[in-house]
Amino acid sequence: MNTIKVNYNNMLSRVLGSQGITDKQIESIVPALQQARLNVENNRGQGMQGWMDSPYNQDKAVQDILKTAKDVQSRCDAFVVLGIGGSALGATALFNAFKHLYYNELPRKTRKYPRLYVIDNVDPERMNALFDVIDVENTVFNVITKSGSTSETMSQYLIITDILERKLGAKAKDNIIATTSASKGNLIKLAKEKGYTTFYIDEGVGGRFSVLSPVGLLPAAVIGIDIAKLLEGAREMDEKCKNAEVMQNPALVSAGLQYIAMKQGKNISVMMPYADSLKYFADWYAQLWAESLGKEVDKNGKLVNAGQTPVKALGVTDQHSQVQLYNEGPFDKVITFIEVKNFRSDVTIPNGCKEYPNVNFLCGHSLSELINNELFATRYNLTRRGRMNYTIEMDEINECNIGALIELLQLQTAYAGELLNIDAYNQPGVEGGKDATYALFGRVGYEDKAAEMEKAPADDNNYII
């Protein structure tokens, strides 16, 4: 059973004073919150809300994933994910959450499973660096793109298949696994033509909501993460969030508080886990929150320029880089802390420096005490200064808790989209950049975009120094 709880005391006026949210403000949006939950529930499994079925409908997929993972584990030293955005961030977050923080540097007999690399960019130096640390003949590549036309991923695919086919010939297909749409796009056609092992992304599951689909589950299974437990935790949280009582539904109440905060000008959302293992959950959350809620128009076509800018931070590291701003800068932020009460290992600070009392006071305490006391102190100091913050608490990092955390944040995002009356599942701002890139490369069908770009004013050299 998961232990995820949302502690939102430090969002409220009874704690923060004039900067906090009043009971009256919460009561005023209860009807909107109930309608938001109802809208999300009524569309469960429909359109782009197929992700809501992911914790429930993947028994067969899980069996196939585990079978493939066992095969990969038996015959390769490295597993490489080729993807970008939602096709990469979830896998990275899960990898970092569960595996040794220097996992890829451990000997095989210690780590037991293949090394994992997630290549989510097209920086040529990064691609070449990968080839310096893997043997491509002893590596399985998981190409992930639902459309099969993602320029970054398909360019990586072309590079890898060229190398593999030159080295392995017809056997190259054994080193590639495709994760894509079952019915459309280029990758499914290539997979069928070349005979790749293939996993499917449901048409109603968008990239940023895909971590609990084969997109995230296959890489997780290959490195020994219990994906059945991940889904179990997600189910538990989903069932909890079916509660129509606003104050008993953690995703709904947190969405409501963020919505009120946005209306008060809190247009920055800081995600700050106090555990290195959860560092990349802030990256995953940043895409989920930004791409879902950052919309120019609402569902009625009204110009709204909605959204809240996500910022990634890590406790305690960013106490020494960002927290000064959070304490004394503009009142434009909501800080979400993630607290882990019990770490999987600990270190006791040994006795020493007796002649220096301002150092010696630490002796005999543990690093887990230090990190959690620093979280408490940071939270306390922000609160006494009237800065909105709330904490997602868990007793430990395990698959059930992380599955629940994923579902909590996905549901919070869906509810927030309803409150803002925007489409949380489209991404027209992303598509504009994609179209411009296609035009620059002379892709057929983008001639009008190329002509439009030709008319753009050139940079003035007077302003380049």
Phi, psi of 427, rounded to the nearest 5 degrees: -155, 60
For residue 294, give the 3-state DSSP assignment. coil
Please tell me which residue in 24, 109, 320, 455 is annotated as part of the active site.
Answer: 320
Residues 6+ apart with CB under 8 A from 94: 211, 216, 219, 220, 225, 230, 402
End-to-end CA distance of the chain: 60
For residue 378, give the 3-state DSSP assignment. helix
For residue 204, give the 3-state DSSP assignment. coil
Q: Is 434 a catalytic site residue?
A: yes
Burial class (CB in 10 A: 0-12, 13-18, 19+), 125: exposed
Contact criterion met (CB below 8 Å) for 31 and 266 = no
Neighbours of 448 (CB within 10 A): 10
Can you give the three-state secondary structure of 105-172, one letter per residue?
A: HCCHHHHCCCEEEEECCCCHHHHHHHHHHCCHHHEEEEEECCCCCCHHHHHHHHHHHHHHHHHHHHHH
Both tokens of 117, joined, read 């690399």
Residues 6+ apart with CB under 8 A from 321: none
Residues 6+ apart with CB under 8 A from 236: 1, 2, 400, 403, 404
Helix, strand, coil distribution of the chain in percent, nearest 5: 55, 15, 30
What is the C-alpha to C-alpha distance for residues 39 and 50, in angstroms, rounded to an integer? 14
DSSP state of 350: P
Q: Is 291 a catalytic site residue?
A: yes
What is the C-alpha to C-alpha distance for residues 173 and 157, in angstroms, rounded to an integer? 12
Contact criterion met (CB below 8 Å) for 1 and 235 = no
Q: Is 296 a catalytic site residue?
A: no
Both tokens of 384, joined, read 């006494």
Please tell me which residue in 291, 339, 399, 407 is annotated as part of the active site.
Answer: 291
Please tell me which residue in 165, 194, 393, 434 is annotated as part of the active site.
Answer: 434
Which is nearest to 159 in space by CA: 193, 122, 115?
Answer: 122
Residues marked as catalytic? 291, 320, 434
